[in-house]
Structure 1
Amino acid sequence: MCIRIADTCRASYLRPMRWLVFSLSCLLPVSAQSHPHVFIDTGLEFIVDDAGNLTHVRVTWAYDEFYSLLVLEDMRLDQDGDGVLAESEEQFLSGFDAQWVEGYNGDLVIRTGDTVIPLSGPLEPHATTEDARIVTTHLRAVEGGSVPANALSIKAFDESFYTAYEVTRPVTVSGSVDCQIERSDPDIDAELAQMQAFLRTLDADYDLEENDIPMVGEKFATEIRLSCPAT
């Protein structure tokens, strides 16, 4: 699978995540489920009430060109190949990625301290195309109504790393409260070095398919920290 990943990397050679994926996929000679097949540029909108509580998160996913092409062809959309969908096509496409199996967390984890904040499934799904890429949005509600947004940690990641997320689209806050957003990007070189060191400890006959495959998704995830004053 390194050839396919390498082709993707060359198409976006300035994107560090793409080079990481190429390196990691070649280090892990295991099944297709052990390395990314989908690349998503992610955006987040935090919706905060007047008391400084988080009530909803609107998530934007912009799929890579190759995956977008596969989906559009499979659904027989954009037959003229201009990368622009008619309104009826957008309606047909909307929600294609919002049919979640039970227990799926939407590849989004929000924590306050060590506690994970439960979120609803996807609401108000919408899909369109931008430059021949599928771009979707969905809304997620905080279960229970709201949670204080004074010190939240947010990460978008697939634990198994089948899908690689990069927070490259806008991260914003909607509401009248003056909130602060900070981001902390992963040290890709350091994490990759740790993975290489782990692999060197394995016996040559070690079968990763029959044993636990390292869950590396969170290690390469950008952390967003949201802080809103209580009023």
Structure 2
Amino acid sequence: MRWLITLLTCCLPIPVMAHPHVFIDTGLEFIVDEAGQLTHVRVTWAYDEFYSLLVLEDMKLDQDADGILTTAEESRLTGFDAQWVEGYNGDLVLTAGDVPVVLSRPQEPRATTEDGRIVTSHLRKVEGGSVPANALSAKAFDETFYTAYELTRPVTVSGPVSCLVERFDPDIDGQLAQMQAFLRTLDADYDLEENDIPLVGENFATEIRLSCPDT
């Protein structure tokens, strides 16, 4: 999806448009119990090289620039992206039978580096205990599209029951065509920021559907 920034800034009729500034390779682990109920979701984020460099420099970590953190440095880095403002959904939307699934704030944060990239994970508990994992849908996205999430890391299910995981990737070309058509309707001096940038993040999000048997 990193090619999107080129298309959005070079190929659209006006230069002011929402496009990603941070790219995150994402992984999801759905944790279910013996009754096929979802109890937790573990989220993994691997930040792009440039953003990782900015964070490490700002926090004065990896001073020898070998891309490997010491145990003390990992401890300092852990939780840097888990200090969420009230109401932030973690850029993860879950629904069960079209009913929103409410998740806790991040727990058990972890952080390290892989080839110079920051990789973090956190655990989120289903509020209220659990929900049936049948007809469960999950999407990782930033609705403003400032951050682009790509589900390139493993998507797994952990628990005593077998579950079916299905992946539905977005129609990138179709979404770009719709965005271009919308922009062509605007005057050249139209200020998207003053008039609300279209919230397009979900349009480019991969959907994961989970089906676990009731027991």
The alpha carbon displacement at 1:69 in A equals 0.4
The alpha carbon displacement at 1:19 in A equals 1.0
Match of 2:20 among 36, 50, 54: 36
- Asked if structure 1 preserves the Cα contact closer than 8 Å seen for 2:4 and 2:19, the reply is no
Quote the residue 1:137 is aligned against. 121
Query: For 1:123-179, what per-residue CA distance to the aligned partner results, in whole angstroms no more than 9, with x for missing partners?
Result: 000000000000000000000010000111100000000000000000000001110
- Asked if structure 2 preserves the Cα contact closer than 8 Å seen for 1:20 and 1:188, the reply is no
Matched, 1:100 2:104: no
Greater mean deviation of Cα atoms: 194-203 or 166-175: 194-203
Query: For 1:48-80, what per-residue CA distance to the aligned partner results, in whole angstroms no more than 9, with x for missing partners?
Result: 000000000000000000000000000000011
Query: For 1:102-126, what per-residue CA distance to the aligned partner results, in whole angstroms no more than 9, with x for missing partners?
Result: 0100000001233211100000000
Greater mean deviation of Cα atoms: 50-59 or 114-123: 114-123
Code of the residue aligned with 2:78 in structure 1: it is: S
- Asked if structure 1 preserves the Cα contact closer than 8 Å seen for 2:27 and 2:155, the reply is yes
1:176-187 aligned at under 5 Å gives the runs: 176-187=160-171
The alpha carbon displacement at 1:191 in A equals 0.5
Matched, 1:225 2:209: yes
- Asked if structure 2 preserves the Cα contact closer than 8 Å seen for 1:43 and 1:59, the reply is yes
Quote the residue 2:2 is aligned against. 18
Code of the residue aligned with 2:83 in structure 1: it is: Q
Q: TM-score, normalised by structure 1?
A: 0.90
The alpha carbon displacement at 1:90 in A equals 0.4
What RMSD over aligned residues (CA atoms) do the two structures have, in Å?
1.1
- Asked if structure 2 preserves the Cα contact closer than 8 Å seen for 1:160 and 1:215, the reply is yes
What is the rounded CA distance, in whole Å, between the counterparts of 2:72 and 2:51 in structure 1?
Answer: 21
Quote the residue 1:75 is aligned against. 59
Runs of 5+ unmatched residues, structure 1 = 1-16
- Asked if structure 1 preserves the Cα contact closer than 8 Å seen for 2:96 and 2:131, the reply is no
Match of 1:151 among 135, 143, 148: 135
Matched, 1:215 2:194: no
Q: TM-score, normalised by structure 2?
A: 0.96
Code of the residue aligned with 2:16 in structure 1: it is: V
Q: How many residues align?
A: 213
Structure richer in helix, relative to its length: 1
Structure 2 counterpart SS, 1:18: coil
Structure 1 counterpart SS, 2:165: strand
